[in-house]
Structure 1
Amino acid sequence: MTTTVQGFVLIENRDDVVWVWLSRPDRHNSLIPELISDLKNALMDAARQRPRALVVTAKGSSFSTGGDIAGFLDHRRTQQDLRDYAEELVDGLHGVILDLIDFPAPVLAALNGPVTGGSVGLMLAADLVAMAEHAFLQPYYSQVGFGPDGGWTALMPDRIGVSRTLEIQYRNERVNAAEAREIGLVSSVCPLSELEGQIGKWLDDLSGGSSRTHLATRRGVWDDARRETVRRRLDQEKDRFLELVALPETIEGMLEFTRRRA
């Protein structure tokens, strides 16, 4: 087993499986361009190794709380500065989601804590998802004034339906782990202490089958037409995000959001 630290990402090779951890725990693994860049590089390196599987998880008490609001506020000197920062972040995140979709092996996700904002896309691009029983999903976009990104409109409706997607967004609903399992967003819910064990069971299952068949199945699900639809929808999400991010009311929403959590 070898472990490598790559900026805000930790990579561990366990036999023929690559584990990738988001590692910005002091900020709840909130997303900034540097973390996204580190994650993209880690996925590229992992893909070149042709592993049996990829596991994405995180250090600390949260999986990820989405885009770091402080990062946006640090770039609010002008509307263009803020839009440029937002475009770098959202473009990078959406690129990582597509990299996960294109990954040449099954992708597993272990959600060790809350998953909010655009980080949900890392979950939606995974094949099998295990979620700690205390964890939850929540959008928060309407509380700030952002347009949904990370697949909330590009991927989520295909998983749980249009009506349920809209309801969660409009109500800023917190979806607990049990409901996430019930509506098909995650494959398993377990205590945090058993999360890696659940991933291990799935890896054993994968070992019992043909890696070529697993890859053929993955490529059949994420065929060119479906991938292109997702890419186009992600681009539309980015455009809507950029339309809203630098508005005065959105900046005030960000400030109020940070005040409530101070």
Structure 2
Amino acid sequence: MNAEAESRGYTRLLFEQEGPVLRVLLNLPEARNALDLEVRPELIEVFRQLNDDDGVKVVILAGVGGHFCGGSDIRSMQEIKGPVAARKRMKLGQRLIQNMVNLEKPIIAQVDGAAAGAGVSLALAADLVIASDRARFFFSFVKVGLAPDWGQYYFLPLRVGMARAKELMFSGGPLAAEEAARIGLVNRVVPAENLAQEAWAWAASLAQGPSQAYALAKAALNCWPMSLPNFLEMEASMQAVALNSQDFQEGRDAFLEKRKPRFKGE
């Protein structure tokens, strides 16, 4: 990967793109990439626009400066006046989580150093998580007297189970990368010096796959939990679409011709 980082007009984000892979980088290293009130709308807008960007097939979310994301900016919380203002602040952050979940493209969270509070929620909202061997996950809401937010009540039990989720939320962590992998919170752990390269290689491999099939699978899995009859009905409808896609025709022909398929996402 030889792409150079660029700001693209944003003040708190950097971007690296090569072909169909885009890396979005939180760029607040002096604050461990904490989610201040300026970076939140930037992330919301980026993930909204990515749905219409046919040039991007896989997104990596990472942070600069050796850390993924230090969570919410505690200093800005001093300015919250009353429950109405607090709810508006929460709803803004939730729009980011919704935009990530609704993006019909795989998102890989590239986690190095600290992921804390809402930073853990960001990683959980991604489809896949690759972490360095020095990554640490802090469920730090409890440390400041807050309840988890940004979808953590939903995502964490789905990944690690209810009993483990309660333990992590009550204790606050930290959770080391290897243990995070063992309990299912992350997919892969790699040496820190190889993290960026391994994340990019994974994304590049996915980008060669059938992007419409990814979109259908992600949409279905986002409905979990749901009853078996409802899932069967959904998969029938989705498979009807997939069976008529150009990617399936290419995949079928490649299988029969004993060659590697060349998917186009159509």
TM class by smaller structure: 0.7 to 0.9
Unaligned runs of 5+ in 2: 227-266
From 57, 69, 83, the counterpart of 2:62: 57
1:106-160 CA-partner distances (Å, limit 9, x unpaired):
1111012211111212111112211111111111222211111122212211111
Aligned residue identity for 1:37: P
* 151 and 176 in structure 1: CA distance in 2 versus 1, 3 angstrom threshold: same
2:105 alignment partner in structure 1: 105
What secondary structure does 2:154 align onto?
coil
CA apart distance, 1:214 = 1.6
* 156 and 224 in structure 1: CA distance in 2 versus 1, 3 angstrom threshold: closer
What secondary structure does 1:36 align onto?
helix
Which one is further off, 33-42 or 6-15?
6-15
2:74 alignment partner in structure 1: 69
Aligned residue identity for 2:23: W
Structure with more contact order per residue of length (Cα contacts < 8 Å, sep ≥ 6): 1
The residue correspondences of 1:225-236 to structure 2 (distance < 5 A) are none
From 3, 15, 19, the counterpart of 1:11: 15
Aligned partners of 2:140, 2:179: CA distance in 1, in Å? 18
Task: State whether structure 2 residue 27 is matched by structure 1 residue 23.
Answer: yes
CA apart distance, 1:165 = 0.8
1:44 alignment partner in structure 2: 48
1:93 alignment partner in structure 2: 93
CA apart distance, 1:176 = 0.5
The residue correspondences of 1:203-214 to structure 2 (distance < 5 A) are 203-214=203-214
Aligned partners of 1:217, 1:112: CA distance in 2, in Å? 28
What secondary structure does 1:6 align onto?
coil
Percent sequence identity over aligned pairs: 24
- In the alignment, is the contact (CA less than 8 A) between 1:18 and 1:46 conserved in 2? no
1:251 alignment partner in structure 2: none
1:197 alignment partner in structure 2: 197
Aligned partners of 2:141, 2:10: CA distance in 1, in Å? 30
Aligned partners of 1:5, 1:190: CA distance in 2, in Å? 32
Q: Output the aligned Cα RMSD.
A: 2.0
Aligned partners of 1:202, 1:126: CA distance in 2, in Å? 14
- In the alignment, is the contact (CA less than 8 A) between 1:33 and 1:89 conserved in 2? no
Unaligned runs of 5+ in 1: 227-262
Aligned partners of 1:194, 1:217: CA distance in 2, in Å? 29
If the length of structure 2 is used for normalisation, what is the TM-score? 0.77
What secondary structure does 1:48 align onto?
coil
If the length of structure 1 is used for normalisation, what is the TM-score? 0.78
2:123 alignment partner in structure 1: 123
Aligned partners of 1:35, 1:84: CA distance in 2, in Å? 22
Task: State whether structure 2 residue 118 is matched by structure 1 residue 114.
Answer: no
- In the alignment, is the contact (CA less than 8 A) between 1:115 and 1:136 conserved in 2? yes
Larger Rg: 2
